[in-house]
Amino acid sequence: MSLPRLISGLSEIASGHDALICDVWGVIHDGARHHPAAADALFRFKERHGPVVLLTNAPRVPEEVAAQCASYGLPAGCYDAIVSSGGATRDELARRSAHRTLSLYYIGPDRDLPMIAGLDIRRTGIEEADLALCIGLVDDMTETPADYAGVLAAMKARGLAMLCANPDLVVHRGPKLLYCAGSLAQAYESLGGEVVYYGKPHLPVYAAALAAAAASGQRAGNPISPKNPLAVGDGLVTDIRGANAAGLPVLFIADGVHGEDIAPYTPEHLAALFARYGAHAATVTRALKW
């Protein structure tokens, strides 16, 4: 079992990389405010080493993710592009509804309805639906996946496929741990339901992120695609396993979603934690900073 290297900041390894593929929630903001040290690290990497692409499982299109990050105080200049699972999901819904009206059973809060705005989609109940879209829990501050047992059973009885726009299982909003769409998708799969995921850890979204990094580099006058991009994330199931599958080196942010499991903060304990999740990161830091 190889042991990870504990580092104090991104500056210790940045020179070995020419692009950054960075997670958002838990790394650069906590769902309430941004982390200034993380923004500074992104700025410095972008100025000295290469493009910065934010890769998020947020169930929103990139423009909405940018607006949300700005509302938390994140400076727009610290990154070059955003790739989101919500954007990938909308692209798929646009494809499916291009030639006929799509009847859709929607699971999620009203605030995320812009995901389907402007598409030839009719929202229906389970009995009339062609497909289900899961963006998240309707009220993630109070609900759990158990509250959806009846809904999921009815979907399974109809044989509906579910598109999951956010594979994350849980996320922190400030100090509170909330369930995400991935937790409902996981529960649906346990019933034998069909789920199509968009976002990490699934490989297509990494291809999109690398393409965005290459395009950003070309706009900056560097026509060469990144040769050694670095992935940064805090979710072992999504960020780290996804980067592993994509063949990307990884910097794990220990004080993110797995913060309660990081004790003691030693290479041996971290290696055992990685093994438990079937993941690996060569380097670890507490929080993203330069």
Domain boundaries, the chain: 5-86+201-285, 88-197
| pLDDT tens digits, 200-217 | 998 889 988 999 999 987
Q: At residue 269, what is the residue type?
A: H
What pLDDT is recorded for position 266? 95
Please answer whether residues 252 and 242 qualify as being in contact, where contact means their C-beta atoms are separated by less than 8 angstroms: no
Topology agreement, domain 5-86+201-285 and domain 88-197: yes
pLDDT < 50 positions in the chain: none
> Whole-angstrom Cα distance, residue 239 to residue 166?
12
- The pTM score is 0.82
Q: Which CATH architecture has domain 88-197?
A: 3-Layer(aba) Sandwich (3.40)
Within 8 A by CB and 6+ apart from 139, the residues are 109
What pLDDT is recorded for position 177? 81
What pLDDT is recorded for position 125? 97
Q: Which CATH architecture has domain 5-86+201-285?
A: 3-Layer(aba) Sandwich (3.40)
What pLDDT is recorded for position 1? 62
> Whole-angstrom Cα distance, residue 287 to residue 272?
20
What pLDDT is recorded for position 225? 79
What pLDDT is recorded for position 171? 78
What pLDDT is recorded for position 161? 97
For 264-270, the CB contacts below 8 A with 24+ separation are 265/6, 267/3, 267/4, 267/5, 267/6, 268/3, 270/3, 270/4, 270/6
Tokens of 107: 């699971």
What pLDDT is recorded for position 223? 65
Q: Which helix (H) or strand (E) holds 67?
A: helix 62-71
What pLDDT is recorded for position 278? 96
Within 8 A by CB and 6+ apart from 36, the residues are none
What pLDDT is recorded for position 220? 67
What pLDDT is recorded for position 263? 85
